[in-house]
Amino acid sequence: VKLLTVARDLRRRKARERDGRFVAEGVRAVEELLRSPLTVRGALAAPQLHDAPRGAALRAALAARGVPVEEVSERDFASAADTEAPQGVLAIADVPARDYAAVPTSGAATVLVLDAVQDPGNVGALVRTAAALGAHATVALPGTVDVWNAKVVRAAVGAQCHHHVFHSTWDALAAFLDAASVVLWAADAGGAPPVAPAGARVALAVGNEGAGLSPAVRARADRVVGIPITAQVESLNVAVAAGILLHALRP
Amino acid sequence: VKLLTVARDLRRRKARERDGRFVAEGVRAVEELLRSPLTVRGALAAPQLHDAPRGAALRAALAARGVPVEEVSERDFASAADTEAPQGVLAIADVPARDYAAVPTSGAATVLVLDAVQDPGNVGALVRTAAALGAHATVALPGTVDVWNAKVVRAAVGAQCHHHVFHSTWDALAAFLDAASVVLWAADAGGAPPVAPAGARVALAVGNEGAGLSPAVRARADRVVGIPITAQVESLNVAVAAGILLHALRP
């Protein structure tokens, strides 16, 4: 099967789940993929890649790594690409097997929980933020957009290649919280400023952009935390709020 | 002139600057506009507004405020709308006259400076964040996307209706910093964690998503501040970084 056909097919969530593959598009995302331990299956390159900043170097790096590269026309590339003005490079990689084992079993631990966050740009920014601020894992609960969606990968600038982000059911999260002695903090307007003792083991949950937190998360939360804001706006952007709260949780 | 024609025209920056008008689209942005002191000139409503959450109430609020409302078809609305699945309401308002007078002349002061930030979603999130965290003003330097662009208004959820955000030249900013005794802090990777004494008067500058800060801002900066991040990612999203830094600057 041609890589172009595979890449087109992987634009559907069902195909990604069936094949256990995803697509990283654009120079920066593919660079991050190559820097990561993930298995890269192939890449597409279009002529405009040579005009992109660092494009020629990336093309060479793909070849040096032995990644099969299929050269396609600008038009064919556009048919598989997610962006409006594609840089002419995408790579197909295996979705890594990940679970709660990424969280240390003792000492300080920080986990970000995405409770039905729907906007791909927000989820990408959340994954990038969790990775940057040293969270051990990010858990996407049902209702959250697929973290291997091309828009999410782009918004995260490929951070999901390094950071342990994975989908989980609520039951699996609840079992982990019990087994690993991790407390659940729910972020909500009107919550108290977060103050974490040294060595705290915390899972911080952020909710849906419109509906907020799910009943299951609210019911289980050990504490509701938030950031005081002015009356000028209704709320902070979810990634900005998570950034401030995760920063406050850092040792 | 029909409001539909005006709204279509205002999608161009040149038209917004010539007329001193902008468009707020969607239920939440128009609600914020009506809550603000800005002068509303008219609105367009399409049939689907009655199906949107709070849509009927907003339609009634426009009528109660005496705003001229033009009823248009879903198709005509789409021709003026910026979104792919429009909620069927937009309003045309005057761009407010704003300048550095919004910043208190004594006591604590916080100003956010956008140094050629180009992505409309980022600029919207920055304005929303500055408003939420109590900055006195946000200044958009040349190279920054128009803060009255429909995408920016949507990403800010209408925060620019309340928060004092305006465009400025570098010379005007430099003159303000001198006259008002405000120090310039530049946000950059590798900068020191920000520690502000009580009553600090600070302008925090964030740079372009790719190129970073401009030479003028770098040269003038009294301090370079930043947030330590892991090696997993190259940088934080600019709105997330500004959120963490502005939060640290709060009294």
Q: Cβ contacts (< 8 Å) between B131 and chain A: which residues?
A: 230, 232-233
pLDDT at B164: 97
- Looking up tokens 């600038």 gives A157
- Band (pLDDT 50/70/90 cuts) for residue A83 is confident
Residue A124 corresponds to which amino acid?
G
**Contact across the interface for A239 and B239, Cβ inside 8 Å:** yes
Residues belonging to chain B = 251
Tell whether B55 lies on the interface with A, counting CB pairs under 8 A.
no
Tell whether B233 lies on the interface with A, counting CB pairs under 8 A.
yes
pLDDT at B109: 97
Between B133, B233, B240, which is nearest A239 by CB?
B240
* Predicted confidence (pLDDT) at residue A181 exceeds the cutoff of 90: yes
What interhelical angle do B238-249 and B120-132 show, nearest 10?
A: 10
**Contact across the interface for A232 and B132, Cβ inside 8 Å:** yes
CA distance A167 to A146: 8
CA-based nearest residue to B19, from B4, B41, B35, B37? B41
Tell whether B52 lies on the interface with A, counting CB pairs under 8 A.
no
Interface of B with A in 6-35 (CB under 8 A): 28
What interhelical angle do A55-64 and A27-35 show, nearest 10?
A: 30
**Contact across the interface for B125 and A234, Cβ inside 8 Å:** no
pLDDT at A190: 87
Interface test mutation site (partner B, options A233, A235, A250, max chain B beta carbons within 10 A): A233
Handedness of CA B47, B52, B56, B57 (dihedral sign): negative
CA distance A187 to A46: 43
In chain B, the residue whose alpha carbon lies closest to the alpha carbon of A234 is: B132
DSSP 3-state of B43: strand
Residue A226 corresponds to which amino acid?
G
> Are the beta carbons of A137 and A100 closer than 8 angstroms?
yes
Task: Give the helix/strand (H/E) hosting A62.
Answer: helix A55-64
pLDDT at B45: 97
CA angle centred on A51, ends A50 and A55, rounded to 5°: 50
CA distance A107 to B247: 27
* Predicted confidence (pLDDT) at residue A135 exceeds the cutoff of 90: yes
CA distance B159 to B154: 9
**Contact across the interface for B240 and A235, Cβ inside 8 Å:** no
pLDDT at B116: 97
In chain A, the residue whose alpha carbon lies closest to the alpha carbon of B163 is: A232
Distance from CA of A45 to the nearest CA of B (A): 23
CA-based nearest residue to A134, from A175, A171, A102? A102
Low-confidence ranges of chain B (pLDDT < 70): none
pLDDT at A210: 86
Between B125, B129, B229, which is nearest A132 by CB?
B229
- Band (pLDDT 50/70/90 cuts) for residue A158 is very high
CA-based nearest residue to B237, from A89, A123, A167? A123
How does the average pLDDT of chain A come out, rounded?
95
pLDDT at B64: 94
Q: Cβ contacts (< 8 Å) between B237 and chain A: which residues?
A: 125, 128-129, 239, 243
In chain A, the residue whose alpha carbon lies closest to the alpha carbon of B238 is: A240
**Contact across the interface for B235 and A132, Cβ inside 8 Å:** yes
CA-based nearest residue to A126, from B118, A118, A100? A118
pLDDT at B83: 87
